[in-house]
Structure formats: C-alpha cells, structure tokens
Amino acid sequence: MAEINKEKKKGKQLPVLSPKEEALVQETIEDVFTSDSGEALIIIEAKLRNLDPQEIGAAFEWLQIALQSMWQFFEAIRLVRKNVDWVNAHELLLSAADGFNSIGIRELFDLCIGIGSYSEAIIEIQKSNIGKALELLSDVKKYLDNAGQFGSKFRPLIDHIEPDALYLAGVKALMELDFGNGKILIEQASQSAERVALEYYEEGTPLYNTFQGLARFHRAYYTYNRAYNDFNLYDFDSIIAKKGLAEDAIQARELLSRGDLQNELIRNTVNTSNALVDLLMAIHELAQLMNNIFQSTLKLETSALISVKQRIATASDSAAKSGSQAVIFVRACNLLSDRVKNIERLAKPTKKDFGTLSGLVASATFLPLFLIVSWSNTTFSTGLNATTLITSCIILALIAGFGFGALRFKSLVFPTHNGKDYPKSHKQK
C-alpha cells in the first residue's frame, strides 16, 4: 500500500483527509500501478474524466494531483520506450516527483527521482559528460531500492541499468589509461548484459539480440582501446598474436542488426560496430606491415597498404553515421590515415636507399663480367676497344644489381650532348 506522509506536504495546504478518503487515494494509486504499464495511461485518463468533486469531497484535490503525477510518470515511460525521448521524459518525471512529494507519497517520489536520474544520465552520456553520468547512475539504484513495492515493480529496470553503469565506468577507466580496471569493468558490463538477455527475453527476439550484441560490443570496445594503445607503443607482436581481433565487433554487428532497430541508440551502435570491425582489421594488418618493416632491411611494397587505407576510410564513414558519440572513432581514423601516409612516404626508395644492397650486387658482378667479356673479346677477336668493353661491363653489372632501375645512372656512363645521351665511341663527326 502507498503510505501517505502528511508531514512531507509542501506548497498549497491540502484538505485533511478522513481515514476513508485516505484509503480511496491509496486504492487509486494501487489500481494504476498494479495494471499493465501499457494500459496505465488509459486507466488514469478515465479516472481523471470521472473525478467528481461533489461526490469525492476533500479527496478530490489529492486524487487530482495523484492521477496527474501518475499520468506524467507513465507518459515519461512511454516516451522512452517508443521514441527514446529522454529530454521530455526527464521533465515529466521531475514534475511527477513534485506532485507525489506534495501529497506525501515518498515511495513514488523516490521512484520518479530514481528513473529521472537515469534519464538525466543518458542525456549526459549523449553530451559525452561521462563523469556526470556516472554520478547520476550511482544514485538510481538507491532511489529505486527506497521505492518499496513500486521499486520492486521496476526492479527489471535496475537490472537493465547495470550494464550501462558498468560500461561507463569501464570507459572512464580506459580514458584514464587504466587498462586493468577498464578490462574488469567492461567484462562485468558484458556479463551483466548477457544476464539481462537470458533472464528477460526469449532467444532470437530483437531485445535478446540487442543485449547479446551489446555484450559483444562492450568487449570489442575494450579490444579496440587495448590494440590502439599497443600500436602506439609499437607492441606489434601483441596485436599480431590476436588472430580474432575483430571477432567480437563482427558478432556485435550481426546481433545488433537483428536487434531493436527502432531504438536510435541501437541503430547508432550498429554503425559504430561497423567502424570497429574495419578499424580492428586495419590495425591488425598495419601491425603486420609495420612489424615487417622493423624486422627487414628491404623497403615496403606500398601496394600492400591499399586494403588498409580502404578499411580506414570505410571505418570513418561508418563512425560518421553514428553521430557525436562516435567522434573519437573518426579522430582515430584520421590519425591512422596520417600514419599510413607517413609509412608510404618513408617506404619510397630514394637515391640513397637505392644502392644499399643493389650496389653490393653490382660491385660483386662487375669483376666476373669483365673477365668473361675480356676473354671473349680476345678469343673471338670481336674488336671491342677498352672504353667500350669497360662500359659494357659496367652496364651489365648495374642491370644485375639494380634491374632496369640502372637507367637512372645512364648519365654517369653516357655523357649528355645537345640534350641526348650516347656513348663517346659514337660521337657525331
């Protein structure tokens, strides 16, 4: 039963109720809150229409405030469930809390303040004010626990809140580079989301898929932060060792795509999951390429970066569709893209790099070639003069060492005359 605390009334002084009138107010509240949430608004509106001050007497003002407050409460719940309208829901919940407080229904006041704190926390999350959101979420469970039987009716809401609260705490830890606590908190958030799916929803239904998808998304978010940090620390071996780096993100995308897509937050999370898939795969491929660069004296084949660049571009496009909550992923894509450009720049061979190994090959090839060509010239009387013989051996040695890139050295072998290169032995007369 709803207990009326007459000492907690404030504002306009209401008429004093007789025991019978007080029981009528309590019974009306019980009728509404024991009904199905979807039918509560219809019941409240019918009771408001049938209120007769002449018949009810002193209880009229009390019932009017109680019914109006209950209408605001259930309308707020409807706005959240149907339109994900947290802003208007928050205003309605605060107004309902004032109404219940004015007639001394403390349990319903705590219920409204508790759910109102949750709605405000969601608003702060959308503004990226994680610290403020965590403070608000820490109050939610306390208020709902104080709401007595009404809190018990909305106990499932507490269970649904827990994954968000743990996930936000994990995000905060990761932002502070506390990967130890971040991993623990996000794993707890994932397990909590899985429990909600198993306890409240039938397998295969949209909401079951939603919470299972969120559990995978939470883990994928941690994996991304860990991998990105390892990449920045040049710990490429740790990244390469994780073969299924994007597995959780892939599962999150698939489950959420079959989830509650009427919810805008879920639709945005699908896009963010798409971004995580490509980002994680790009980081994994880029780590392999960077590892090869650091372990090899040979230059990178820049064409190997094409798939990485495509993945980063796709990830950026997906993140951009998720709205302001995914700005961090767009920035990460930009940073990765800049790194790829620098790798391409550093991987381009220069004149200095060109002779690092090829010069050794050319030098080692020259002497055997010179001996062979000299022997052939003497044995078969080809008539090659010394200049032509040496020049031919140099050309062959350079081709052996540098391939057709040796043509860049032609000006060293063939001096330029009138804009054309040709051997001195073929001078125009």
For residue range 47-64, what is the model confidence (pLDDT) as tens digits? 898 888 887 777 888 989
Q: What pLDDT is stored for residue 95 in this prediction?
A: 95
Better pLDDT: 383 or 18 = 18
Tell me the average pLDDT across 110-119. Answer: 91
Amino acid at 236: F
Token duo for residue 415: 């001096």
Confidence of residue 375 (pLDDT cuts 50, 70, 90): low
Token duo for residue 425: 């032995």
Q: List Cβ neighbours of 373 (8 Å cut-off, separation of 6 or more).
A: 384, 389, 392, 393
Q: Give the single-character DSSP code of 105.
A: B
Q: What pLDDT is stored for residue 286 in this prediction?
A: 87
Classify burial at 427, counting beta carbons within 10 Å of its beta carbon; exposed 0-12, middle 13-18, buried 19 or more: exposed
In the numeric block, the tokens 């897509």 are attached to 261
HSE at residue 353, side-chain half, CA atoms within 13 A, is 9
Token duo for residue 153: 């009716």
CA distances from 161 to 4, 119, 156, 285, 365 (A): 29, 11, 9, 37, 74
pLDDT tens readout for residues 386-421: 666 666 676 666 666 655 555 555 554 455 444 444
Contact of 260 with 206, CB cutoff 8 Å: yes
Q: What pLDDT is stored for residue 313 in this prediction?
A: 84
Q: What pLDDT is stored for residue 65 in this prediction?
A: 92
Amino acid at 130: I
Work out the percent of the chain whose per-residue pLDDT is above 90: 25
- Of the candidates 354, 350, 316, 344, the residue with the CA atom closest to the CA atom of residue 332: 316
Q: What pLDDT is stored for residue 206 in this prediction?
A: 93
Q: What pLDDT is stored for residue 308 in this prediction?
A: 82
Amino acid at 199: E
- Ranges of each domain in the chain: 1-153, 198-348, 352-426
What integer best gives the mean pLDDT of the chain? 79
Indicate if the alpha-carbon torsion angle 333, 339, 342, 344 is positive or negative. negative
Q: What pLDDT is stored for residue 44 in this prediction?
A: 92
Rg (CA), the chain: 37
Return d(Cα 156, Cα 148) in angstroms, integer. Answer: 14
Tell me the average pLDDT across 361-385. Answer: 63
Q: What pLDDT is stored for residue 30 in this prediction?
A: 87
pTM over 0.75: no
| Predicted confidence (pLDDT) at residue 6 exceeds the cutoff of 50 | no
The angle subtended at Cα 357 by Cα 354 and Cα 358, nearest 5°, is 65
Contact of 365 with 401, CB cutoff 8 Å: yes
